Structure 1
Amino acid sequence: HPDVARRFAGYLTHATHHDPDKYPWIFLTFWSMTALLIGTFIVSSIHTLMWLPRSLQMRREHPPASFDPGEQQYVRFTFLNRCLHATMVVSFLTLATTGMTMKFSYTKGATLLSRLLGGTEVTGFFHRFAAVVLLGIFCVHIWDLLRRKKNEFGTWKAMLFGPDTMLPTRKDLTEVGQTLKWYLGKGERPRYGRWTYWEKFDYFAVFWGIAIIGGSGLMLWFAEFFTRFLPGWLINVATIIHSDEALLAAGFIFTIHFFNTHFRPEKFPMDTVVFTGRMPLEDFKRERPAEYEELVASGELKRHLAYPLSLNTMRTIRTLAWIALGIGLSLVVGIIYAMLFAYR
């Protein structure tokens, strides 16, 4: 490492998170991240298991309707939304595949996958390239928010505190309680609006991931630069944060998020709305009655209706989506195996 700063030598080559006396910050970081990972999955899994019986009930009461090319649908997402999401799917799958390959590099499966990708250096290149793409998606999304604020809302107050805000509100807290009562059979299903509380959680989890995983990843990528003004042992800390937060992100998306979006019974086997931008009008009325009634009352509903995409286009979208889902589920199996039988 030519021209590195003196602090670079502070990187602890043989440090372990098992020794709180010798490596307190590494020990604390590891167990804090472990607690975050376990806690997130416990809470999310309980929520999912409570949801399952009600979801089965909704499937029985409202089975999926057959495809009707002549029936208008509600346009929920714009073309830009769909493009950003599709690109994010590809970039995240690339990050997860290459990242888990490097994290569990001591396993035979990861070694084989690394060879198929072209070796360790090529795997690392794909990982960093996908990270740059994801950062670009984030920047485009921020630009789109600024554009919408100017053209649609006019003021930050209207955008951030209006009825369709993505920010958590008191209404979300109320709906959490109402949802839990519904799960337990002690109340009706909440009258959700444009965004549910779990969708907002998923949305801001991306911001969290960009900051935490992205920030720690930059420290690992440009370790020589950052150790010009930071102690070398922070690279050890960044390694743990980057690795464990990425594990949490991949595990959560490929299990909890997949269930919330695609695998819950009333949507099984797949909800294509984020890929097509459209959803059947009857589903819209039933799932988001507050938003539907607001659009009807304002006379704006017709502006948001469009005919469904062609059957061939839908088949293509479903095929690509199934490939993405298959890769994600395969990674989950690989992660579980590595954690249970090969973790070091």
Structure 2
Amino acid sequence: VNALADYSSSVHGMGLTAKGLTVSAVCTDCHTSHMELRMDDERSSVHPANVQKTCGTCHKGIYETYMQSDHAFRTDPKGTEYPTCVKCHTAHGISQVGQDKFMNEVTHQCGSCHEETAKTYMQTYHGKAYQLGYFESARCSDCHGAHNVLKSDNPASMTSEENLVATCGACHVGANKRFTGYLSHATHKDDPKLRGAYIFMTTLLLAVFTFFGIHLLMWLPRSVKERRKKKKEAPKETGNLYYKRFSRNQRITHIFVIISFILLAVTGMMLKFAHMDWAKYLSRFLGGVATAGVLHRIGAVITFGYFAFHIYNLVKEKRRKRLSMIKFIFGKDTLWFNMQDIKDFVATIKWFLGRGPRPNYGRWTYWEKFDYIAVFWGVAVIGFSGLVLWFPVFFTRFFPGWLINISQIIHSDEALLAVGFIFTIHFFNTHFRPEAFPMDTVIFTGYMPLEHFKHERPREYQEVKESGKLDQRVFEKEFSEERMRTIRFFGFMALIIGVLLIIAIVYTLLAGGVH
């Protein structure tokens, strides 16, 4: 330990040498002039029992506050080590409390004694933002006090029932009594409400990935055989004939889905895995937690916007077709599940196992319907829980504070499910399966080659042909190279970001870094 070097760069040393403040503490102020003794000598001015009084000769008000706190040094038959000034501020390398160095260390210093409590703090939004370098996030001292730390059953404590609203209100303007019901250090391990939410979300996540993971692994070898078979067959000449599969509104909506989802996924996973180095690098790349928070909320607003736009178009479509609500939702070409999907699923499993032909899929397959319905579920579940986290003071006017804890679990785990599913299962179903690799551009152009349409959607082709409307949906198209380059650039950027994020998540899971 180089005491001189530490002192020279400390707030005391810099005050003396850089600013000329002769009142700054020097060696003799702490160690005395002629009675210098080792720190473990009970007579020493820097002995744990005496050091706070030594510091108090300059910092009188802080000393008086500290001596009234539960941290005040005292002898304890249990051998409890009470924190002294040196424990938190160090002996020689004392930083200004507003400097990043001190801000970065202070919560870890509290955690050196309050280890389990510090772990739960790191799982909250405050703790995650703090780990990413956002030092304006609430720290231990913001809620419990810096020198006036008292147990919550003490009426004078900042966390007492009498003072908690004011303590929370220092950051959360308008905080109310229900807001203080937020369980600040609770986890799913020690609270039944949180445990229920955690078990439900974990079960849902495992069920979805197990089902569709098996589905993917069964599909892959069959897909490889299909690609080989297709290569051996002589290509049919159809000119530039394309079938119109998606409308302009549907294509625009999907572009907004992609943009908003990537914004939400990147910024959300960065916060969820804040303890990982890759998340810290990503935070710095994005401009910090505050900037990432703005981007996340922009993504949320876009999501609510395209969802409202889609509902509006559904209402228009229902009125145009003059269908009852039942027929509109459960009709033949609906995106809701019906009996045909069960038949298609059974036929698909037989095809995977080599016990039947490729199913004659119609307008929508069952896995596409799952994707679509999952968006409704996601917007409702992630959307509502996200709004609770965005506007906690408002929602706790009507709901108990522990709703914030429940919302954090649901928002975090449902987001992980959505990100993991879209960037693995959905990417495979749409782009990475051998028949479509490396990218299916139909969602961007709105059109698919007629022969490809006949193969992919034979039942729909037959139905449209028998209805006499095929000529109305088949067009001779030629897409410019510039347009296709733009589409591929946008699409591949989305694919690359998604794959990189999945790699980071898998690395985190394998490293045992899930908090």
1:91-130 paired onto structure 2 within 5 Å: 91-130=260-299
2:140 is aligned to none
Give me the whole-angstrom Cα distance separating, in 1, the residues matched to 2:501 and 2:333: 34
Calculate percent identity across the aligned residue pairs: 51
Give me the whole-angstrom Cα distance separating, in 2, the residues matched to 1:332 and 1:267: 21
Shift in Å, 1:189: 1.4
Q: Secondary structure at the match of 1:320?
A: helix
Shift in Å, 1:122: 1.1
Shift in Å, 1:312: 2.0
1:265 aligns with 2:434: yes
1:318 aligns with 2:318: no
1:24 aligns with 2:195: no
The 1:3/1:312 distance shift into structure 2, 3 A limit, reads closer
Which residue of 226, 246, 250 maps to 1:58?
Answer: 226
Alpha carbon RMSD of aligned pairs, Å?
Answer: 1.8
1:328 is aligned to 498
Give me the whole-angstrom Cα distance separating, in 1, the residues matched to 2:215 and 2:322: 34
Shift in Å, 1:204: 0.1
1:4 aligns with 2:172: no
Q: Aligned AA for 1:15?
A: A
Shift in Å, 1:340: 2.4
2:425 is aligned to 256
Q: Tell me which protein shows more helix as a share of its residues.
A: 1
CA contact (8 A) 2:178 2:399 kept: yes
2:331 is aligned to 162
1:274 is aligned to 443
Q: TM-score, normalised by structure 1?
A: 0.95
Shift in Å, 1:161: 3.6
1:197 aligns with 2:342: no
CA contact (8 A) 1:69 1:308 kept: no
1:176 aligns with 2:345: yes
Give me the whole-angstrom Cα distance separating, in 2, the residues matched to 1:196 and 1:316: 28
Q: Aligned AA for 2:202?
A: T
Shift in Å, 1:153: 4.7
1:131 is aligned to 300
Give me the whole-angstrom Cα distance separating, in 2, the residues matched to 1:161 and 1:48: 27
Higher normalized contact order (CA 8 Å, seq sep 6+, divided by chain length): 1
Shift in Å, 1:69: 10
Shift in Å, 1:313: 0.9
1:83 is aligned to 252
Shift in Å, 1:191: 0.8
2:455 is aligned to 286
Question: 1:253-304 CA deviation, whole Å, 9 max, x = no partner?
Answer: 0000000000011111111111111111111111111110111111111111
CA contact (8 A) 2:238 2:450 kept: no
Give me the whole-angstrom Cα distance separating, in 2, the residues matched to 1:330 and 1:45: 19
Shift in Å, 1:155: 4.3
Q: Aligned AA for 1:126?
A: L
- 115-124 or 148-157: bigger deviation: 148-157
Q: Secondary structure at the match of 1:73?
A: strand
Shift in Å, 1:158: 4.5
Shift in Å, 1:181: 0.9
Shift in Å, 1:319: 1.3
Shift in Å, 1:70: 4.8
Unaligned runs of 5+ in 1: none
User: Looking at CA atoms only, which structure, 1 or 2, has the larger radius of gyration?
Assistant: 2
- 245-254 or 109-118: bigger deviation: 109-118
- 57-66 or 145-154: bigger deviation: 57-66
- 150-159 or 238-247: bigger deviation: 150-159
The 1:157/1:16 distance shift into structure 2, 3 A limit, reads closer
Deviation beyond 4 Å, 4+ runs, structure 1? none
Which residue of 38, 61, 68 maps to 2:206?
Answer: 38
1:309 is aligned to 479
Give me the whole-angstrom Cα distance separating, in 1, the residues matched to 2:299 and 2:252: 16
Give me the whole-angstrom Cα distance separating, in 2, the residues matched to 1:141 and 1:188: 36
The 1:65/1:6 distance shift into structure 2, 3 A limit, reads farther
Give me the whole-angstrom Cα distance separating, in 2, the residues matched to 1:114 and 1:58: 43
Q: TM-score, normalised by structure 2?
A: 0.64
CA contact (8 A) 1:278 1:308 kept: no
Count of residues in Structure 1 that have an aligned counterpart in Structure 2: 341
Q: Secondary structure at the match of 2:178?
A: helix
Give me the whole-angstrom Cα distance separating, in 2, the residues matched to 1:162 and 1:248: 29
